[in-house]
Amino acid sequence: MYTMSALKEIEQVNLSESEKTLIEKGWSADVANNVIISRVLYNSEGYLVDGYIAEPKSSETKRYPLILWNRGGDEKNGRLDDFLASGILGEIASWGYIVVASQYRQKDEFGGRDIGDILNILKIGMKMPAFDGENIGVEGWSRGGMMTYQLLTKLSFLKCAIVVAGLADLRSNFEKNSKLKDKFYGLFKGADEKKILEEIGKRSAVDFFESIRPEVPLLMIHGTADDKVSYQDSVQMYKKLSEYIRAELRLETIENGDHYLRKERNTVRKLRRDWFYKYLKLNK
């Protein structure tokens, strides 16, 4: 089906009937029955990286906008499995989009050169026959939000972006999350403090916000009770970008919402779906 040189393997996911039932209960019957999920293995800067592609079953006859989805977590923490990919990515695909998502290289750099893994799976998505050839959006959660901010400095053709519980200020979060600090510093064993501070700055959007493309509409969503990434990250970004971004900039803080916004799934779903529709479909 696909002939892109970077793509090494693709295999359709087939859930069990019990798993499909859980997808239907947790998401919807449309997600469970009208979406194709595929595991992919692709080449990225000499690494073999795995990821997922989700697409509507009608993608063989219709054309759709493309959404690049960036996961949170680090290393194995936060990785998708077939079930989660079918639910999380399948839901977005059920709205009428192709979705591509990288799991990032095994040698995790937490927003370093692994940004290339996202760019390379995006290239694969852009060559898919069902892509409409024009409309691309991006969404990132937590660490994936951090990487989404980085992408917004590199890509000029994105039509919109969504960041949910996005990590934007590593320094302030290190003060509250010692595990995050220890893991990050562990990536640079033997490096001096100057080098580490330089790497922190590369990943902290509060430092490079003026390099973010001002023409890309950006929706930020964050729960005020987030105990993993401070919601002040999004508040800071909104304040900094509000005088800089020319496109629509919106911040939705969810009162008492946790990091995963579990109790506000319907609200968050509608915000995201409406944003993508407005910028990827409404004017088509």
User: Which residue in this structure is represented by tokens 């040189």?
Assistant: 5
Averaged confidence pLDDT in the chain? 94
Is residue 1 one of the residues assigned to a domain? Answer: no
Write the CB contacts of 131 (distance below 8 Å, at least 6 apart in sequence).
63, 64, 65, 66, 98, 125
What's the CATH number where 51 sits?
A: 3.40.50.1820
Is residue 252 one of the residues assigned to a domain? Answer: yes
Is residue 139 one of the residues assigned to a domain? Answer: yes
Whole-number pLDDT of residue 94: 97
- Domain housing 165: 7-281
> In the numeric block, which tokens belong to residue 98?
């192709």
- Binning pLDDT at 50, 70 and 90, where does residue 132 land? very high
**pLDDT > 50? residue 207:** yes
Give per-residue pLDDT as tens, 14-58.
999 999 999 999 999 999 999 999 999 999 999 999 999 999 998
Whole-number pLDDT of residue 61: 82
**pLDDT > 90? residue 266:** yes
User: Which residue in this structure is represented by tokens 């919106």?
Assistant: 250
Is residue 17 one of the residues assigned to a domain? Answer: yes
Whole-number pLDDT of residue 1: 39
Q: How many domains does the chain have?
A: 1
**pLDDT > 50? residue 3:** no
Is residue 2 one of the residues assigned to a domain? Answer: no
